[in-house]
Amino acid sequence: MPGSGLREAPARVASGREQDCGAGPRRYARLRRERSVTRMPTRPTQSRVYCRRLAGLLVLDPNGDQVGRVHDIIVTLRLGHEPPRVLGLAVEVQRRPIFVPIGRVTGVESGAVVLSSARLSWRRFQQRPNETRVLGELLDRRATLLSSDTEVTVVDAAIEPIRGGDWVLDQVAVRTGRGRRGEVRTVAWDEVTGLSLAEGGQGAANLLAAFEKLRPADLATLLHDLSDKRRAEVAAALDDERLADVLEELPEDEQVELLGGLAEERAADVLEAMGPDDAADLLGELPAEDAERLLRLMEPDEAADVRRLLRYADDTAGGIMTSEPVVLAPNATVAEALARIREPELSPALAAQVYVVRPPYETPTGRYLGLAHFQRLLREPPSTLVGGVIDVDMASLRPETPLAEVTRLLASYNLVAAPVLDRGGRLVGVVTVDDVLDHLLPADWRERQLESDVDTHTTPGLFAPPPGGGEPGALGGVGASPPAAP
């Protein structure tokens, strides 16, 4: 995080309160002017950030406009000595907190947290049972150093990005003794005890600890083999984005069952975290009144994308497309385009090319100009404008194009994705080869795959029947060790 000053030692805590880290309106007005509308920040650098230094920082959207200020950091504690996973930030907006997933944070610039998108859920943040507030709950807690059995007080905590776009709380700053004069030292999370979950706590916690490192498709396979009760417990304990990823890998009847077991507001949050095309497919399986009720609970922008997809027939380009491709303006640079397609949450098909349009840049966009494949981007200097390297001859689809014609187009031109344009020449979405395969395979292909995976133990050694039978149990040793202290 260049220039942020957040890689230093933990913040001083003797004053009991951080100094104002905000930069003042004039400075951020200049920052907004310096930022192009099409400027897309890169992913976070591998830098450790101390949570006390985040308190009160401005939160900016990609254009440099203020969203709010950091109120707290939300983590989920894990079993044993596994470092907590960072879920996101509680951001104070007009005196109320909202939740910003950590995946939306691209870095810290000039003392402000920068987001990758201005599209956020403005619903008031409500803490869930499996969530912990670092500033409000973890700091000032008593813990014990494993090396010396010394009782200490937590005075700060450090979070760090890891591979795959996730963040973990990997270190804590602790003070010995009970007064303010004790020695402050920084230790790895696994060097203290008394902060993690107890082994027997929170129902499905043992399973969740083993599930932590699994890919969504593998987790879906293992959930498929659990009892209905156990599956519901795990679904309730997963965070929204993780559950959304898993739902996308499950058969539609199991998606409906799991979604129906959630409170309606939580179900709406999970639908928002899903891709609009997957959310539309799932809502299409529900009774019309249930689907409409959930749509009303979703954020208006998110619901609008899903409603637009629900208007199209299932066997057309509009019915299978995603409405969230990588969109850039023609004056964006190749470097910015490559930064966008490096986003870890993008599927390989969506990351294969960027789509260049006139404003607005959310679908339905302004006039579509063309696309640039990532291989072409790799051959160009970073400062080249994408408007100069686009393919303007690539065939496009209409929302009403039948599935058979979509398939022929992708096969004829060896494409992994194709743009979908309305009659006004605006980009409304993209059809990927993944979308087409989902609709060409037999309707029960997911069930067959799940049964095959379970029968052949596609993840050998991770789960085994406990002595005497019963539910599969988590084996020890799952997950990586926390990063070592510097």
Q: What is the chain's pLDDT, residue by residue, as a tens digit (486 residues)?
A: 444 444 344 444 433 333 333 334 334 444 443 433 333 334 444 478 999 999 999 999 888 889 999 999 999 887 667 889 999 999 999 888 999 999 888 887 768 999 988 888 888 888 877 788 999 889 888 899 998 989 999 999 999 988 777 899 999 999 987 666 788 999 999 999 888 755 444 445 556 665 666 778 878 877 776 777 778 888 888 889 889 999 988 888 889 999 999 999 999 999 999 989 999 999 999 999 999 999 999 999 899 999 999 999 989 999 999 999 999 999 999 999 999 999 888 889 999 999 999 999 999 999 999 999 999 999 999 999 999 999 999 999 999 999 999 999 999 999 999 999 999 999 999 999 988 988 887 766 656 665 554 333 333 332 333 333 333 332 222 233 333 333
Token pair listed for 228: 């209905």
CA distance 42 to 45: 8
Domain 327-439 has CATH 1.10.3720.10: no
For position 25, what pLDDT does the model report? Answer: 39
Alpha-carbon distance of 414 to 425, in angstroms, equals: 23
Distances (CA, A) of 268 to 14, 100, 116, 235, 433: 43, 16, 22, 14, 28
How far is Cα 194 from Cα 143, in angstroms, rounded to an integer?
A: 5
Half-sphere exposure of 233 (CA within 13 A, CB side): 13
pLDDT of residue 109: 72
Q: Bridge partners of 154?
A: 174
Tokens 């494409």 label which residue? 415
How many residues are given for the chain?
486
pLDDT score, position 208: 65
In what helix (H) or strand (E) does residue 357 lie, and over which residues does it extend? strand 353-357
Beta strand 427-432 with 66-76: parallel, antiparallel or unpaired?
Answer: unpaired
Helices 288-297 + 300-310 axis angle, to 10 = 150
Partner residues linked to 108 by β-bridges: 113
Quote the CA–CA distance of 339 and 114 in Å, as a whole number: 15
Distance CA 423, CA 19 (A): 55
Say if CB 224 and CB 214 are below 8 A apart: no
Q: Specify the 3-state DSSP secondary structure of 164.
A: coil
* pLDDT for residue 377: 97
Q: Is-contact 339 322, C-beta < 8 A?
A: no
User: At which residue do the structure tokens 């997950």 appear?
Assistant: 479
Over its C-alpha atoms, the chain yields an Rg (Å, rounded) of: 24
**Residues near 375 by Cβ (< 8 Å), separated by ≥ 6?**
none
Name the E strands within 177-306.
184-188, 192-193
Say how many C-beta atoms besides its own lie within 10 A of residue 113's C-beta: 25
Tell me the C-alpha distance between 455 and 168, whole Å: 34
Q: Check residue 95 and give its pLDDT.
A: 82
Q: Which two tokens stand for residue 99?
A: 């939740």
Residues of the chain with CATH 1.25.60.10: 205-311
The yes/no answer on whether domain 205-311 falls in CATH 1.25.60.10 is: yes
Token pair of 301 as six digits: 């922008």
The pLDDT of residue 444: 63
- Considering only CA atoms, which of 414, 413, 412, 416 is closest in space to residue 436? 416
Question: CA-CA distance, 335 to 367, in Å (whole number)?
Answer: 23
Architecture per CATH, domain 25-135, reads as: Roll (2.30)
In the DSSP assignment, the letter for residue 391 is B
The SS3 call for residue 169 is strand
**Residue 94 confidence (pLDDT):** 86
**Does the bond joining 161 to the residue before it have cis omega, within 30 degrees of 0?**
no
Instruction: Please report, as a single letter, which amino acid is at residue 119.
Output: R
pLDDT attached to residue 31: 42
Q: Which ranges in the chain are annotated with CATH 2.30.30.240?
A: 25-135
Tokens of 144: 């014990």
Token duo for residue 32:
């907004």
The helix/strand/coil state of 224 is helix
CB–CB of 238/226 below 8 Å?
A: no
CB 483 within 8 A of CB 290: no
CATH 3.10.580.10 positions along the chain are: 327-439
